[in-house]
Amino acid sequence: MASPKPEPKMKIHPTILYLCLWCCLAQTAGAQKKFTFTLANPLPEARIDELIVLQRTAIAAKAGVDFKGKLPIFRNEKGGALPSQTDDLDGDGQWDEVALLVSFGPSERFKAKVTWAAPEQMPQFPVRTQARLAKLTNGVFVPIVKETIPPGHKPTDFSTTKLPLYQVEGPTWENDKVGFRLYFDERNGKDIFGKTQPALVLDKVGLPGGDYHTKSDWGMDVLKVGASLGAGAVAIITKNDRGEETLARLGDKVGQTSYSLVCQGPVRAIFRLKYENWQVSGQENYQLVDEISIVAGQYGYESKLTLSGFAGERQLVTGIVNLYSDQATHAGNDQYALLATHAKQSENKDRLGMGIVVANADFAGYGQTPETGPEKVLQTYFVKLKVKENQSVKYRFYAGWEASDPRFEKAASFEKLLHFEAKKIFSPIEIVW
């Protein structure tokens, strides 16, 4: 019997093969293009440099992808890349959030598209924020990402010491509008660097031969802090030996204080200050974390406080130095409370506005410390913050120096800024997946 003939192999025309491959690629590309979401400004006013934060888990769930080492790129409807950065908040080596910087016209809404790229293929955006701590090492200030204050460390006595242990005496944080610092010692005050140019400069301030107390081409240290809370430092309400209500300064009688840098980049910078065994009194011993963040384009920073070591409720305070101002503005509505000053209160003898905005849910009232006396905190207008154990409370501190922006010459203009910033907090950009 003859063997059956083998069936002829099917030949695929090159044109058909090309069309099949093209269709597969088109479907893959189309699937990627389909991952869009809508951003909408609910306010009838323009909003410049708005921070939008998206969780990694939310993006992965909505996109249905495994990142596999890729990073997201966000584009507007015209194809322009939106400034962004991916941040590892818990230090496990994997980013947790992506922070975007987006500007909107009045009531504007548009679709944003997400694509994916290897880290080396990501667009390069201008870096507009910086957080920094530099320690004196062999006569040079060297940036460090983690630090614990050495036991017995005291404020620098410049009459006997040429350079402090830390550049400008502690951590600094800045964006293209304003800068701040914290005294990394028992004073724990917060200070303001007024800026006259957008460049990031605080890595060059406080070096030998410089004087940041005198106005230069970039700006200057514009605030005298003294024994006050300065530009939003923290204290707690307690009672003195006579049973009278008083303030205990954060930084005083703390067992250990540490700093850790979380992130910095084109959109935001974040660092954490951890205070362990804050011995307020014989009966009060607390742990506190102060997470400070600053976003590009804003005239201020946000502080997120988490207090533990107690039951029930306590009252933290944050405040504004009143050394050169004799009145404060108290304002707000059913959403927020506002404390502000505006006067010729800068070290340049010109006008400086300072303000604090806090949600009404966290607000417990206003207060004022004595001008002189034995108290640990003096010359301060303050806001009381309701705090429950391990539940964070936030406030925002703003600074408007007239040399930075002429509109800050007028108190009304500065207060208008504060109210608009508060309005934006409670009218966030809407995200529709």
Please report, for residues 246, 248, 249, 265, 379, the alpha-carbon distance to residue 242 in angstroms, rounded to integers and kept in the order given.
10, 14, 18, 49, 21
Q: How confident is the model at residue 282 (pLDDT cuts 50, 70, 90)?
A: confident
**Mean pLDDT in residue range 101-106:** 98
- Does the pLDDT value for residue 115 go beyond 50? yes
**Mean pLDDT in residue range 97-116:** 96
Which ranges constitute the DSSP H helices of 34-166?
56-63
What is the model's pTM? 0.91
The secondary structure element, H or E, covering residue 31 is helix 14-33
Extended beta strands in 218-284, E state: 219-221, 231-239, 245-249, 254-263, 268-279
* Mean pLDDT score of the chain: 92
Q: How confident is the model at residue 9 (pLDDT cuts 50, 70, 90)?
A: very low
Are 255 and 276 within 8 A, CB to CB? yes
Tokens of 7: 């069936």
Which residues of the chain are in CATH 2.70.98 domains? Answer: 129-432
- Does the pLDDT value for residue 24 go beyond 90? no
The third-level CATH classification (topology) of the domain covering 129-432 is Beta-galactosidase; Chain A, domain 5 (2.70.98)
Identify the burial level of 78 via C-beta atoms within 10 angstroms of its C-beta, where 0-12 means exposed, 13-18 middle and 19 or more buried.
exposed
Which residues of the chain are in CATH 2.60.40.1180 domains? Answer: 31-120
Intra-chain end-to-end CA distance of the chain, in Å:
69
**pLDDT tens, residue by residue, 304-330:** 999 999 999 999 999 999 999 999 999
- Does the pLDDT value for residue 270 go beyond 50? yes
- Does the pLDDT value for residue 18 go beyond 70? no
**Mean pLDDT in residue range 196-219:** 96
**pLDDT tens, residue by residue, 30-77:** 334 458 999 999 999 999 999 999 999 999 888 887 777 899 999 999
Check whether domain 31-120 has CATH 2.60.40.1180, yes or no: yes
- Does the pLDDT value for residue 19 go beyond 80? no
- Does the pLDDT value for residue 384 go beyond 90? yes
- Does the pLDDT value for residue 385 go beyond 70? yes
Q: Which has the higher per-residue pLDDT, 25 or 123?
A: 123
Residue 34's pLDDT is: 54
Tokens of 62: 């909505």
**Mean pLDDT in residue range 121-145:** 97
**Mean pLDDT in residue range 205-227:** 95
